[in-house]
Amino acid sequence: MRVLIVEAPDGRHQVVAGILRAHGHLVDCSQIVEAARAKYERERPDLVVLTDIGPESLALCRWIHQADQEDFVIVAAIVEPELRGDIHGIIEAGVDECFFGEFHPSRLELWLALLERRIRIRMRHRRIEKALREDEIKTRAVLETSVDGIITINEQGLVETFNTAAEGIFGYAADEVVGRNVSVLMPSPYRQEHDGYIRNYLETGRRKIIGIGREVVGLRKDGSVFPLELAVSKVSLDDGRNLFTGMVRDITRRRRLEQEILRTSEEEHRRIGQDLHDDLGQMLTGIGLITQNLARKMQSQGHPDADKAAEVTGLIKEADEYVRTLVRGLIPVDPEAVGLTSVLQRLASSTEQLFAIRCTFTEASPVLIHDKDMAMHLYHIAQEAVNNAVKHGKAKHVKIILVADNDWLRLRIQDNGIGFPDTVKEEDYGMGVRIMHYRARMIGGMLEIAAMPSGGTILTCTFRHPDEVAYPTESP
């Protein structure tokens, strides 16, 4: 320890200094109060010992506590018997520890040992407090400089922290969100369902997003909906409480770029399909007619190679049919021309014919979607889901359902097949399911796959009605 002793005329300070130095402490003495102030400012000791109580030394004590706002230093005093009646004045001056009784070295050494222990405890607390302050500063610096929004909520879903990046993403100031339910940042129907997710997790431990991460949709202060990436982690505190920290990133620009890439890709597929249909398909049809006539003439003339000519005609016909199959895959039914409802009805009918199963389409209420890209994505989602139900799920009955719910729409594909493993994570999905998730996100929706209690699988794509979508747009 660094110790400053304010000397007394009778030399008692020498006894105190000797004991402290014997224990390895750094001791400095001062006979004049003004000099003691200068030494204090220069050395910043851990302990100040007043060996003479008087107006000047008590004034020094008051000055020390004013100068040491963090209260790191301990001021101790050796109180003479005639001054014990003024103990309240001594304490009010800021003296932390007092030595009473006979001034005997053994008693003084015990007192100083106890004083040293108290100081060491305070120094340890000081180090811990300093480390905590530094950690808090570092954490706050990370929170405030992160390009990702960081939001902390409690078990009730109430926001406890909302960093600067989150303010920019959602358009709210922190004090507008802290203390409110985090569902204010979510559009319907997720706003109504969020607290149920938390309760379900706390009761069952079953995670839908915690520790996994996924793409969701957010709601800005201005009412616009936008896509974002969300990763959630849980922290259990010593008092038994749980906190959930979400890291969010606005991916509007990325989604716009992906939309453009997908649109370009589908247009290229359509062009290739049209070329196959108009050029190669017609050429094969023409060649097939020519070889068919040639085979008939060779057969009527009894030509020995007539059978080979007929075989060539059959192969050309197979090639023509194969090209037409490719064209149907590259140029699907156009939802823009006939409407989403019509193409889903056709999908149900063609599925029944091709696979000899029961496939039905139900429209719970009239749904009009004028957005060509959205309709095309929904058609492909339904098409892939039906194919998976038949080929992988071995389903004998598939239902395609389109439901309107206020500003939100839901496309459901339900089957009675062998079911989809409920424990499979999104990153373990096959390419077809991944593309369905991708298409759902492209239209600002979410895709959920769940096993039915009675067997089979239900796939739900929830998306905002295109007339209500303010997405994709730039974040504020």
Mean pLDDT (the chain, rounded): 79
Q: Which pLDDT score, from 0 to 100, does residue 282 have?
A: 76
> What would the 3-class secondary structure string for 338-380 be?
HCHHHHHHHHHHHHHHHHCCEEEEEECCCCCCCCHHHHHHHHH
- Measured on CA atoms in the order 239, 240, 241, 245, is the torsion positive or negative? positive
Select the more confidently predicted residue: 329 or 66. Answer: 66
Q: Which pLDDT score, from 0 to 100, does residue 203 have?
A: 67
Q: What is the pLDDT of residues 286-303, one digit of tens each?
A: 888 888 888 888 888 888
Q: What is the pLDDT of residues 441-463, one digit of tens each?
A: 878 788 888 888 878 899 999 88
Is the predicted pLDDT of residue 469 greater than 50, yes or no? no
Is the predicted pLDDT of residue 389 greater than 80, yes or no? yes
Q: What is the pLDDT of residues 273-282, one digit of tens each?
A: 777 767 777 7
- Region 385-406: what's the mean pLDDT? 87
Check if CATH label 3.40.50.2300 holds for domain 2-141.
yes
Q: What is the pLDDT of residues 67-101, one digit of tens each?
A: 765 656 777 777 766 665 577 777 777 777 777 76
Cα(293)–Cα(421) distance, integer angstroms = 56
Select the more confidently predicted residue: 168 or 331. Answer: 168
Please tell me the least confidently modeled range out of 95-99, 170-174, 390-394. Answer: 95-99
Percentage of residues of the chain with pLDDT beyond 70: 83
What stretch of H or E contains 219? strand 214-219
* Sheet strand arrangement including 149-153: 159-162, 149-153, 242-250, 225-236, 214-219
Please tell me the least confidently modeled range out of 9-13, 120-124, 413-417. Answer: 9-13
Q: Which pLDDT score, from 0 to 100, does residue 471 have?
A: 38
Residue 360: band (very low, low, confident or very high) from pLDDT cuts 50, 70, 90: very high
DSSP state of 278: I
Question: 251: Cβ–Cβ under 8 A, 6 or more apart, which residues?
Answer: 215, 227, 228, 229
Options 3.90.1150.10, 3.30.450.20, 1.10.10.60, 3.40.50.970; CATH for 147-250 is 3.30.450.20
Residue 310: band (very low, low, confident or very high) from pLDDT cuts 50, 70, 90: confident
Question: 288: Cβ–Cβ under 8 A, 6 or more apart, which residues?
Answer: 313, 316, 317, 320
Domain 335-476 CATH superfamily: Histidine kinase-like ATPase, C-terminal domain (3.30.565.10)
Q: What is the pLDDT of residues 320-356, one digit of tens each?
A: 777 776 666 665 555 554 578 888 888 898 888 878 8
Phi and psi for 104 in degrees, rounded to 5?
-115, 140
Cα(40)–Cα(47) distance, integer angstroms = 10
